[in-house]
Structure 1
Amino acid sequence: MEGRRRMATPTAAARDEQQWKKKKKKTKKAGGKESGGRWPQIKSKRDLQINRLKGNSLFTIPNFFTAAEAKSFIEAAESVGFMHQGSLGPAKGEAYRDNDRISVNDPVLAECIWESGLKKVFDDIKVQEKVAVGLNPNIRFYRYKVGQRFGRHIDESVDLGDGCKTQYTLLIYLSGSEGSKVKKSVGGNQESFMQSLVGGETVFYDQRQGVVAEVAPVEGMALLHIHGAKCMLHEARAVARNVKYVLRSDVLFA
């Protein structure tokens, strides 16, 4: 648990976004196009269930990815390779952070995720009279091993230009409490067993540090929450067993 209760400014995340924007600008000047790698196909989802934890400000969508899709994204991300990410810590104005990550600029993947069902979910959601138009093409994958966590912080709204600004955080849990089959060699024989993720909950707090919601990762579930000026303080608790994988993007409004 985070020992300090004050809100830490997520300047590390802001630097990541600035670096991505510079990279995007450089690529555009060169006339190239970043593919972001080869990712699994995503099936279109109908009749998605929405569980509202705090109105339109915080909600989950079970089974947004199928189990097969979630596992395929984990395999694809691992084939790309993760890099460790830390932070300067609360003493330097940044939230404590200890995880591994991948960041790719992939407009095609962003559009596929958006069109698979999110677009319809956001049909009736407006922010400052603006409407949702898609996902941030800066797709991030996070990996949390045992003991790793992300301290209490807020997610900033980022202006991507052309009238587009991020207003919601999208997290898709690629692993979770449903468990996954793991092969283990026992006495020379391969045996399969279910290994569940323990820990790694995303916890949201109100202005008095009271818990608004505690969301346990579930394989394939999407979590969406408003960010920027109205972002709730939140944290990713330490993983106690197995590995937590998350796909992260942002919903753009214009």
Structure 2
Amino acid sequence: MPKAKKVDPKTQARTAPSTNTPTIPNWPPLRPLLPAADLSLVPLVPDQIYLIQNFLSSSLCKTYASFLASLPLTTTPGKPKKDEAVRVNDRFQVQDARFAEMLWSGTALKELVTTRFVDEEAYNEDGEYEPPSAEELAKRAKEVWGGEPLGLNPNIRIYRYSTGQFFAQHYDESNSLTFLPQSATKACPARTTWTLLIYLTTCSGGETVFYPEPTRATRNPEPIAVAPEIGMALLHRHGDHCMLHEGMEVTGGEKWVLRSDLVVAR
């Protein structure tokens, strides 16, 4: 595993305020996509880290990586503000509720998060799957996601990590917002509870590495490394329950990541 960069673990990843309002991109259509029936929300660490392999097709990822390279990316400063983690990458950020909704309900994500997430409690002692009732499923979903899932944060972020770039150890913050679900006529109080990362390319290095807290049973837990895979989505808990993590230095190629957050009702 690549050597971790030592950074004050109290640092937080904050969304930098934008002085200029960027133009909303004309995003390419989200197709082709694999049907939801062919995808699974797989727990890497139950209630903490989930993966969706092939969430976006390789051809769609290639289209998006090419398109995103045309956007006006800005390089983050090498010297962060107080209490912020060191981050060196190129990024683009825009508020786009329509695109967030496309990622949520126009893909398999909504179905996977609300009705088809893998739940160990749904298996009996013989290892047989026992489908929960709709009421049980909704209750369990609220427990896993920190509230009733409403959609994705309209704050869309694009990250490009070139050779030598990285994101040091940090925690992702939870943010409160007023959210308007697609089917609603009135906005409601909401908050973000999980980070969504969608990897569009592979590269050398660039792993997202998580550092579990020590427990009585495991005094020195091994770090958990997730290597970028084309089209893979990663969901990890943030806010008070966020696991310390970092984006390792890219040693070859480019790592393109599309970022949003899961929004739940407050």
When normalised by structure 2's length, the TM-score is 0.76
How much has 1:87 moved relative to structure 2?
A: 5.2
SS at match of 1:39: coil
How much has 1:227 moved relative to structure 2?
A: 0.4
Name 1:102's counterpart in structure 2. 92
SS at match of 1:72: helix
- Contact in 2 for aligned 1:175/1:219 (Cα 8 Å): yes
| RMSD of aligned alpha carbons | 2.3
Cα distance in 2 for partners of 1:253, 1:38 equals 27
Go from structure 1 to structure 2 and tell me whether the alpha carbon gap of 1:58 and 1:199 turns closer, same or farther (over 3 Å shift).
same
1:169 aligns with 2:195: yes
SS at match of 1:121: helix
Q: Deviations over 1:174-220 (max 9, x none)?
A: 001xxxxxxxxxxxxxxxxxxxx211000000124733421000000
Name 1:199's counterpart in structure 2. 205
Q: Deviations over 1:132-153 (max 9, x none)?
A: 1000011111000001000000
1:222 aligns with 2:224: no
Cα distance in 1 for partners of 2:79, 2:84 equals 6
Name 2:12's counterpart in structure 1. 10
Cα distance in 2 for partners of 1:62, 1:107 equals 25
The structure richer in strand per residue is 1
How much has 1:74 moved relative to structure 2?
A: 1.1
Name 1:179's counterpart in structure 2. none
When normalised by structure 1's length, the TM-score is 0.79
Q: Match for 2:201: what amino acid?
A: S
How much has 1:110 moved relative to structure 2?
A: 0.6
Q: Match for 1:206: what amino acid?
A: P
Alignment of 1:124-203 (within 5 A): 124=137, 125-127=141-143, 130-161=147-178, 162-176=188-202, 197-203=203-209
Structure 1: give runs of 5+ residues left out of the alignment: 25-33, 177-196
Q: How many pairs were matched up?
A: 219
Identity of aligned residues (%): 37
- Choose 157-166 or 39-48, whichever is displaced more: 39-48
Cα distance in 2 for partners of 1:77, 1:136 equals 19
Alignment of 1:3-152 (within 5 A): 3-10=5-12, 13-14=14-15, 16=16, 19=17, 36-43=24-31, 45-47=35-37, 48-86=39-77, 88-89=79-80, 92-115=82-105, 116-123=107-114, 124=137, 125-127=141-143, 130-152=147-169
